[in-house]
Amino acid sequence: MGVLNSYDLTYICDSATLSPQAPEGFFWPYNLLYALLAVVSWLYFTPSLARTARFEVGWIAEISLRNAALLTLISGGLHLRLYITRGQGTKFKYSNKWLARHDSRFLFGNQVWDNIFWNLTSGCLIWTGYEAVTLWLFANGKIPYVDWRRVSCCTGSFPRIPFTQYSTSCTQG
């Protein structure tokens, strides 16, 4: 059984078996699901580069709605699991307090509604802005763009990257 070294965050393999394994839950299922969500989002819910060559309200609004949906899906799912059902209790919480209600420190007197408001306004707006500018720069050749469909030989290597870093740290000793 290997040990995760908390000082330099490298994974040290068991020298008897030399079997590198990612820490439990590292790649499967959550990181793989997030990666698949990113790929599906990019392929099916991102405007084509031809459309993004000029700044237009239509494609920027599409990106904004997609980002708001992704933010709601991921944050809402995590909120449901960690706060509504209290799936992990206080085991991994920084503070043993739960989200505040009826508290004048928050815009709506409720920490959850305050978090939702600021994430969907400020957070989603900045995220959309960066993405819109990046897509415009890609479309106009101002920054390099790699079309993953044209370099498919490299795409198959990406799922192995997390395990490669662990296997290179395996040393017999």
- Note the pLDDT of residue 7: 40
Across all residues in the chain, what is the average pLDDT?
A: 76
Burial class (CB in 10 A: 0-12, 13-18, 19+), 104: exposed
Q: Which domain holds residue 57?
A: 50-144
Task: Give domain status of residue 78, yes or no.
Answer: yes
Would residue 139 count as lying in a domain? yes
pLDDT at 172 > cutoff 50? no
Q: What is the pLDDT of residue 15?
A: 44
Residue 19: band (very low, low, confident or very high) from pLDDT cuts 50, 70, 90: very low
Q: Is residue 122 part of a domain?
A: yes
Q: How many domains does the chain have?
A: 1
Q: Which long-range contacts (C-beta less than 8 Å, at least 24 apart) are formed by 1-10?
A: 10/169
CB atoms within 10 A of CB 63: 21
User: Which of 4-40 are b and which e, b meaning 16 or more Cβ less than 10 Å from the residue's Cβ?
Assistant: eeeeeeebbbeeeeeebbbeeeebeeeeeeeeeeeee
Report, as an integer, the average pLDDT of 138-148: 88
With bands split at pLDDT 50, 70 and 90, how would you rate the model's confidence at 143? very high
pLDDT at 116: 84
pLDDT tens-digit series, residues 60-111: 999 999 999 999 998 888 778 777 777 777 777 777 777 778 778 888 877 7
CA dihedral 83, 88, 92, 97 (to 10 degrees): 40
Does a structural domain hold residue 118?
A: yes
DSSP for residue 105: T
As a whole number of angstroms, the distance between CA 21 and CA 33 comes to 19
The reply to whether 77 falls in a domain is: yes
Which amino acid does the sequence have at 84?
I
Kindly state whether residue 3 falls inside one of the protein's structural domains: no
Q: In terms of C-beta density within 10 A (0-12 exposed, 13-18 middle, 19 or more buried), how is residue 116 classed? A: middle
Name the more confident of 29 and 70: 70
Let me know if residue 121 belongs to a domain: yes
pLDDT of amino acid 105:
80
Model pTM above 0.85: no
Binning pLDDT at 50, 70 and 90, where does residue 23 land?
low
Residue 133 lies in a domain: yes
